Structure 1
């Protein structure tokens, strides 16, 4: 039976909603860490344990591994898009572009296996999120590139699609090296150098 608070509003269910929200957030955060550490095969039971919930709670929020992976990627891509939009007002146009490209390389390097898993699992699905993610990333990258191009700090011939392809290529080339992050930084430095206009 639902008991009423003094103002006549029901109390039952409110703590559970707050707990459910906290559990959801913790599961996504711990999944993000676990997938970055162990890739697509990270243990779901271990993710639940780190989040402080039972495995059954994880499956109530995310019935399949794909559901959890898509949530992690969707949040990370939203963060990258938000970063890019905020950088559109930065004072130094080329530095803003460089900052976002570095974040994009880090994302691609960290979650490359997850993105491939989603792409393979989402084939022929009407609700495939991958095209939307690509469109969002391309739009913010194109805006940053256009801004740097207008300021004269980017070579005029830098094609938006080519730059994003090189970001993905850097992540692919660095992923199996002993120090993948340092390797990615070195390759990105070469890309950025090539994007600067020559005197």
Structure 2
């Protein structure tokens, strides 16, 4: 939110964001913009002026959570076994996305290049944060060369979206994540 905005515009932004956080937590990324406007006590046009797209709203709601995951990636970088550190972070990404409805939607890739109008700031931030973890794991031979953080985020998002309507989404997402990491081959 720009600091040069009028005080009432800053208050509206803060109120809309607080209501949006509650609505996204309750209804996911499909939360009604009209309901957010009504509950905030502003018109739909005011919501759209602050958040021109649903993605902009979901990204704003998810910003703190994304930052916490980025800090966690930084904390794990260089600690312990490189594969374990990467998998611990990815497991936390999955768990966080399950707990914070709408976060997976904020990480969904849309567009087909860095110049895309659909560039995803949340995913870009996560990719930047996870890169040192992945690079170390690849360098140690713990992860195949050619795997990207974008691949891993897409895998996490897919797992979360596939399990969001499960009776126990956290357990189902964790199980699928562990299955994806272990692979389909029996353990020897």
Query: TM-score normalised by the shorter chain: which range applies?
Result: 0.5 to 0.7
Question: Larger Cα Rg: Structure 1 or Structure 2?
Answer: 1
Summarize deviations over 1:11-33 as a string: whole Å, max 9, x none: xxxxx63x654543343243233
Query: Is the contact between residue 94 and residue 160 of structure 2 (CA under 8 Å) also seen in structure 1?
Result: yes
Task: Using structure 2 for the length normalisation, give the TM-score.
Answer: 0.63
Deviation of 1:49 after TM superposition, in Å, equals: 6.0
CA distance in 1, matches of 2:82, 2:180: 16
Q: Of residues 180, 185, 197 in structure 1, which corresponds to 2:169?
A: 180
Q: Of residues 26, 30, 51 in structure 2, which corresponds to 1:62?
A: 51
Aligned length: 173
- Name the structure 1 match of 2:17: 28
Q: Of residues 28, 36, 40 in structure 2, which corresponds to 1:39?
A: 28
CA distance in 1, matches of 2:22, 2:84: 28
Residue 119 of structure 1 pairs with residue 106 of structure 2: no
Task: Provide the secondary structure at the position in 2 that maps to 1:55.
Answer: coil
Query: CA 1:99–1:25 in 2, change beyond 3 Å: closer, same or farther?
Result: farther
- Name the structure 2 match of 1:9: none
Query: CA 1:87–1:49 in 2, change beyond 3 Å: closer, same or farther?
Result: farther
Task: Provide the secondary structure at the position in 2 that maps to 1:189.
Answer: helix
Task: Provide the secondary structure at the position in 2 that maps to 1:160.
Answer: coil
Summarize deviations over 1:26-48 as a string: whole Å, max 9, x none: 43243233223213332335435
Task: Using structure 1 for the length normalisation, give the TM-score.
Answer: 0.60
Task: Give the superposed CA RMSD.
Answer: 4.0
Query: Is the contact between residue 83 and residue 143 of structure 2 (CA under 8 Å) also seen in structure 1?
Result: no
